[in-house]
Structure 1
Amino acid sequence: MNLTIILILLQDGIMNGAIYALLALALVLVFVVTRVIFIPQGEFVAFGALTLAFLVNGKMPGTVNLLLILGVLVFLIECLSAWRHQMWRSLGRTALWTLALPIALYLLAPHIVAKDTPLWLNVIFALALVIPMGPMFYRLVYQPVAEASVLVLLIISVALHFVLTGLGLVFFGAEGWRTPPFMEGNIQLGPVNWTAQTFFVLATCAVLILALWIFFGRTLYGRALRATAVNRRGARLVGISTNMSGNLTFTLAAAIGALSGMLIAPVTTIYYDTGFLIGLKGFVAAIFGGLVSYPIAAGGALFVGILEAFSSFWASAYKEVIVFTLIIPVIVWRSFGSRAVDEEE
């Protein structure tokens, strides 16, 4: 191994680490606000990448129909809830994002699906199809059991992962897809050519992390999520809706997952079940921060990406084993400084 090989591996590791950092931030966000260890985060990666790949190749993505089905289910559940509590005022707003939005996207899809559609328009349309699924899955799966224990929520997450994997196979098929890069060309840095796509991924991740920092520090909804993360019961006492916090959190998680999939799709062939391994590496990074620290999780993600890159060079057959085995010493290390706390403490 010489300096050139080291720099090439660092390029791959840093780019993958940036993607894992986004997923780790999403996992930490979901856990601290809702206490859900969101195993299906990787499925949003696959859904975002495959939706964009279908649009780029002039094919109708399955998420068009899936979003419509989910919207109808959520609206029916909201109607049942309104009938039980005799509260009908919120149904109009619910109908807008569960029925009107999916129907509008369904009718607009035939005009977007074409091989000559600009890439940026395909990206926006793909995000519009995938992001609303986050709050819909929260309403269908997690909101009814929001006060359950962490273990019960984890079991539900595992079940939802298998459901989404099956839906991915049904709506996208078993074929793998790639998307064209967002930026073409190479940039010479020392002895190594760095692809422009690498810098685009790093810049996008940096902008997104900065946007999240501004959102949580400067906006009312961001502060509401922080308050819910600190103490759910206390947040309810001061008038913050935990249901609103959960919906907003899953919206952000779906957006981060879908965008991460679109960023990694030009360099990795994406299948319907690829997202699980990618999301699991983000989970390993989140464990570095104990599922509560954003900066440590981001640093852990970069370490995971670089370790994976060098492992693929030295022992490619065992790179997944090496990465996932890393979780054992991290958990042991974190256990020395942990203490038992009540979930509402």
Structure 2
Amino acid sequence: MNSTIAVLLAQNGLTNGAIYALLALVLVMVFSVTRIILIPQGEIVAYSALTLAAVRSGEVPGIVWLLLGAGLVAATMELLAARRPGGHEGSIRTAVAYAVLPAAVAGLAWITVPLRPGLWFDLAMTLLLVVPLGPLMYRIAFRPLANASVLVLLIVAMAVHYVLTGLGLVFFGAEGVRSPALLAGRVELAGISLSLQALFVIGASLGMIVAMAFFFGTTLRGKALRATAFNRTGARLVGIRTASAGMLAFVLAGLIGAISGLLIAPLTTVYYDTGFLIGLKGFVAGILGGLVSYPLAALGAIGIGLLESYASFWASVFKDVIVFSLLIPMLLWRSLKATDLEENEE
């Protein structure tokens, strides 16, 4: 390996690490607020990449049917909740929103996608189709079990993952797709040719991380999410609705997952089941941060991206084995640390 190859591998590792960092931050945020290990986050990323490929080819993606069906199920659940004792008018308004907004997005897709208006429209339409999957997933699968144990929520998350994987095969087929680069071309830097697409992915990921830090640090809703993550009971006592906080966390998860799919679509061939591996690597990064620390999760994601990139050069067949093997020592260390804390408390 010479210096040129090392730099190119570092560029690839940083690009992948930037994507994993976004997923790790989402996993940490959702777990802190709702105690849900969001395994289906990878499916949102894969759905976004596959939807973009379909929209750019002028085809209406099958995800519109998932959007319509999930919207109707969520609306029905809201109407049933409104009829129970203690139900309120807000549930009826929310039910109408669940039914109408997905139908409006689906109608817009059916009318405009075949016209192929251009790249920026394709990106916006992909976001409109994919981002709602986050809040719909929360309303249908997780909100009714908000007080369940972490183990039950983990089992439900696995079930949602398998459902979305199967539906991905139905909607998108078994063939992989790879979208054209959002920024074509290369730039010379210190005698080394760097991909503009890779630099764009790294810059966009850093921008989103900064935007999240600004949101959590300065906005009222962001501070409410931080309060819920720090102490759910205390957040309730000061008037923060934890259900609303959970919904907001899943909206952000849908948005970040959809944008991550747009960024990764030109970098690799995406299949209907690619999301599981991508999400699992984000989960490994989240574990490195203990599912509580954003900076450690981001640093862990960058490390995983670099490790994966260099492992693909030295032992490409075992690169995923090497990455996932990090889970074993990390879980052992976390387990021993937890035991020490329990002994000290006693």
TM range (shorter): over 0.9
Residue 338 of structure 1 aligns to a residue in which SS? helix
- 1:127 and 1:175 map into 2 onto residues whose CA distance is 22
Tell me the residue number matched to 1:41: 41
Shift of 1:336: 4.1
Aligned residues: 341
Aligned partner letter, 1:31: F
- 1:248 and 1:97 map into 2 onto residues whose CA distance is 16
Aligned partner letter, 2:2: N
- 1:242 and 1:150 map into 2 onto residues whose CA distance is 16
What whole-Å deviation, never above 9, does each CA across 1:209-234 have from its counterpart, x for those lacking one? 11111111111111111111011111
Residue 82 of structure 1 aligns to a residue in which SS? helix
> Does the aligned pair in 1 maintain the 2:82–2:92 contact within 8 Å?
no
- 1:101 and 1:116 map into 2 onto residues whose CA distance is 22
Shift of 1:47: 0.8
**Unpaired segments ≥5 residues, structure 1:** none
Tell me the residue number matched to 1:210: 210
Q: How does 1:43-192 map to 2 (within 5 A)?
A: 43-85=43-85, 87-114=87-114, 116-192=116-192
**Unpaired segments ≥5 residues, structure 2:** none
> Does the aligned pair in 1 maintain the 2:81–2:91 contact within 8 Å?
no
Residue 155 of structure 1 aligns to a residue in which SS? helix
Shift of 1:255: 1.0
- 2:56 and 2:5 map into 1 onto residues whose CA distance is 33
Identity %: 55
- 2:77 and 2:321 map into 1 onto residues whose CA distance is 42
- 1:88 and 1:249 map into 2 onto residues whose CA distance is 23
Shift of 1:337: 3.4
What whole-Å deviation, never above 9, does each CA across 1:225-272 have from its counterpart, x for those lacking one? 111101111111111111101111011111111111110110101111
Q: What is the TM-score when the length of structure 2 is the normalising length?
A: 0.95
Residue 193 of structure 1 aligns to a residue in which SS? strand
What whole-Å deviation, never above 9, does each CA across 1:67-124 have from its counterpart, x for those lacking one? 0110000000100010113534114531453122111112111332137422111111
- 1:65 and 1:321 map into 2 onto residues whose CA distance is 36
Residue 183 of structure 2 aligns to a residue in which SS? coil
243-252 or 330-339: which moved more? 330-339
Q: What is the TM-score when the length of structure 1 is the normalising length?
A: 0.96
- 1:131 and 1:89 map into 2 onto residues whose CA distance is 26
Using a 3 Å threshold, how does the CA distance of structure 1 residues 91 and 331 change in structure 2: closer, same or farther?
closer
Using a 3 Å threshold, how does the CA distance of structure 1 residues 190 and 114 change in structure 2: closer, same or farther?
farther
> Does the aligned pair in 1 maintain the 2:52–2:262 contact within 8 Å?
yes
> Does the aligned pair in 1 maintain the 2:76–2:95 contact within 8 Å?
no
- 1:17 and 1:98 map into 2 onto residues whose CA distance is 35
> Does the aligned pair in 2 maintain the 1:41–1:253 contact within 8 Å?
yes
- 1:96 and 1:219 map into 2 onto residues whose CA distance is 28
Q: How does 1:257-296 map to 2 (within 5 A)?
A: 257-296=257-296
- 1:177 and 1:93 map into 2 onto residues whose CA distance is 39
CA RMSD of aligned residues (A): 1.4
Tell me the residue number matched to 1:29: 29
